[in-house]
Amino acid sequence: MANRHLSRSIAMQSLFEWDFHGCPKNAIKEMIKHNIDEFAPGMDDASFIYDLTQGVAERAGEIDKLIQEMAPEWPLESITTVDRNILRLGVYELKYSNAPDVPPKVAINEAIELAKTFGGASSGKFVNGILGAIYKQMGEPRKEE
């Protein structure tokens, strides 16, 4: 599972770069490839990274709207770029990903770990609060897993 964590880290870094450069539609694949070469040279299967990153990019509008609904006191542009993209990744995994081997609690915990690693002092709690609220709104599917 360490590969999945590394994959999520690379996906988050690619999304950060994509967001930082204004979310250019045609540049995401090149950014992902560069980050894989930089942070995981020789990785056997990068499909999880591409699936996550491109999935977030394709659904960014829906995901951002949901984040805004759950955190109306935090305008999206005032959320740090790191936290914003960790949230996007977490929301995508919770709501849209077709990875049946990733229970919702794992997706939330992975996002929290990314926030603790890459974000600020309160990023983990912030990400946990928003993703937890979205999970509850979804009806807590697969809660027993």
Question: CB–CB of 106/66 below 8 Å?
Answer: no
pLDDT digits (tens), the chain, 145 positions:
468 999 999 999 999 999 998 888 788 999 999 999 999 888 888 999 999 999 999 999 999 999 999 988 888 888 999 999 999 999 999 998 877 778 899 999 999 999 999 999 999 999 999 999 999 998 777 777 7
Name residue, tokens 């990400």. Answer: 127
The token duo for 15 is 């999304």
By CB neighbour count within 10 A (0-12 exposed, 13-18 middle, 19+ buried), where does 127 fall?
buried
pLDDT of residue 144: 72
pLDDT of residue 2: 62
Residue 41: CB atoms within 10 Å: 7
Of 105, 110, 2, the residue nearest 52 (C-alpha): 110
Q: Indicate the SS3 state at residue 136.
A: helix
pLDDT of residue 26: 83
- What is the reported pTM? 0.92
- Give the DSSP H/E element, type plus range, for residue 5: helix 2-20
Of 110, 115, 106, the residue nearest 85 (C-alpha): 115
pLDDT of residue 43: 86
CA 15 to the chain's CA centroid: 8
- Cα separation, 115 vs 121, whole angstroms: 9
pLDDT of residue 101: 79
pLDDT of residue 64: 96
Question: CB–CB of 127/115 below 8 Å?
Answer: yes
- Cα separation, 7 vs 48, whole angstroms: 7
pLDDT of residue 1: 42
